[in-house]
Amino acid sequence: MPPAAIVRHARLLACLLAPIVASCGASQSTSSAGATTTPAEAPLPPLPSSAVDLLPAALDGALRVDVAGLRKSPLWAYGVEAAQKRCVAIERFEVLLQRTDVVVGGALDAKGTLGAAVLQGKLEPTDVDTLLGLLLADPARAPAVQTRTEGRFQVSERAPVAASVLGSGLAVVGDAASLRSVLDVADGKAPNAREGLLSGGLGQAIGFETAGIAVIYRPTAEGRAQLERQLGRGGRAALPPGLLQSSRGALAVHLGEPLELRAAVESASAAEADELTRATQSSLMQLNLLLRLAGLPPLLERLTAQTQGTLSVFSLQIGSADLDVLWSRMRDLLAAEAQNCGEVKL
């Protein structure tokens, strides 16, 4: 329909719905007394039922953790032990974590930002101080809390960290810019990650919203260059062709017995994805030989790989016995690197 016709139809509809308007061509309505009225602002959208829906579209990386599920898994005990060996005072956040079901987070493609984390569960306004402590490097030296109102939300800040308990069991913590981006999504002023990083079938391929732990990333040019420098020529040569040029990647850990790892990489075309699938599968089978030589379970024998359109999708199951062996080796490494914590700090 031509634009002029659309305008005519809109004006006709306005006249039919609002007979009290004296002139259908007017941009404002005027009462008999001559006073003008302005249209009421559109109501703000309700808070979403999923924390994922609060992640901004501009993110280049997103993480989701099923805290409630992890607490029932052996991985939780492994994680607590690893944190303690690295002098992370996880007990400071125990009460908060007990009331948290899911955590999602991400970082904007901007230097100097910490990113933002959205927590979902039974969060209350009294949790704001603990939320701020999640990201403060040294809470004892941080400035006093400053409180302000941003739209319908109250924000507390101890620079450079800000936090807000949104309601409906949702809360957000991050640097001020990242937190503001989450609030804009909540108010319907900006699109969420389902229209950006989480669009397409990548998240579905790994089960982003059903996994115990899941991450999706979109490498930036700067990130690729940094990774190539860290890998060096030998490291780059060992990677499957096309892996560093992939547009997005994802990894998920699905809880249960056995544990299941899922990974997916997005290529520019189906042909490139098929080539990457075969090359990656071949590289991992070579790595399986190294696992045998190291006395570890040859887990990669169970790897399944397939191409789904432009996605290379991989899956690997790990039983509890193999998981115990892997953690035993990891525990040895942590013990060798263990710090003398002294005064426990974050």
Determine the pLDDT at residue 147: 93
Considering the entire predicted model, what is its pTM?
0.79
Per-residue pLDDT tens digits for 91-144: 777 878 889 999 999 876 555 567 899 999 999 999 998 898 888 877 778 888
From the list 319, 312, 265, 322, the residue with the least C-alpha distance to 291 is 322
pLDDT at residue 28 is higher than 60: no
Determine the pLDDT at residue 31: 42
Determine the pLDDT at residue 16: 32
Mean pLDDT across 280-289: 80
Mean pLDDT across 320-331: 82
Residues 102/123, Cβ–Cβ less than 8 Å? no
Determine the pLDDT at residue 148: 94
pLDDT at residue 26 is higher than 50: no
Mean pLDDT across 202-228: 88
Determine the pLDDT at residue 222: 78
Report the DSSP pairing between strands 100-107 and 170-175: unpaired
The larger pLDDT score, comparing residue 344 to residue 336, is at: 336
Per-residue pLDDT tens digits for 152-199: 999 999 989 999 999 999 999 999 999 999 999 999 999 999 999 999
Per-residue pLDDT tens digits for 94-109: 878 889 999 999 876 5
Residues 57/197, Cβ–Cβ less than 8 Å? yes
Residues 66/16, Cβ–Cβ less than 8 Å? no
Residues 51/120, Cβ–Cβ less than 8 Å? yes
Determine the pLDDT at residue 11: 42
Determine the pLDDT at residue 63: 95
Q: In the structure, what pLDDT confidence band is assigned to residue 146 with cuts at 50, 70 and 90?
A: very high
**Average pLDDT of the chain, as a whole number:** 80
Determine the pLDDT at residue 23: 37
Task: Report the alpha-carbon angle 95-97-103, nearest 5.
Answer: 155
Determine the pLDDT at residue 120: 96
Q: Tokens for 50?
A: 């999923």
Residues 302/296, Cβ–Cβ less than 8 Å? no
User: 3-state secondary structure string, the chain?
Assistant: CCHHHHHHHHHHHHHHHCCCCCCCCCCCEECCCCCEECCCCCCCCCCCCCHHHHCECCCCEEEEEEHHHHHCCHHHHHHHHHHHHCCCCHHHHHHHHHCEEEEEEEECCCCCCCCEEEEEECCCHHHHHHHHHHHCCCHHHCCCCEEEEECCEEEEEECCEEEEEEECCEEEEEEHHHHHHHHHHHCCCCCEHHHCCCCCCHHHHHCCCCCCEEEEECCCHHHHHHHHHHHHHHHHHHCCCCCCCCCEEEEEEECCCCEEEEEEEECCCHHHHHHHHHHHHHHHHHHHHHHHHCCCCCHHHHCEEEEECCEEEEEEEECHHHHHHHHHHHHHHHHHHCCCCCCCCC
The larger pLDDT score, comparing residue 296 to residue 10, is at: 296
pLDDT at residue 78 is higher than 50: yes
- Name the one residue in this structure whose structure tokens are 């790990």: 318
Type of residue at 289? L
pLDDT at residue 8 is higher than 60: no
From the list 274, 270, 329, the residue with the least C-alpha distance to 78 is 329
- CA quadruple 126, 131, 133, 134: dihedral sign: positive
Determine the pLDDT at residue 93: 76
CB atoms within 10 A of CB 139: 17
The larger pLDDT score, comparing residue 326 to residue 71, is at: 71
d(Cα 57, Cα 210) in Å, to the nearest integer?
20
Per-residue pLDDT tens digits for 233-252: 766 666 776 777 788 999 99
Mean pLDDT across 322-342: 71
Query: Left, alpha or beta for 54 (phi > 0: left; psi -120 to 50: alpha)?
Result: alpha
Determine the pLDDT at residue 207: 96
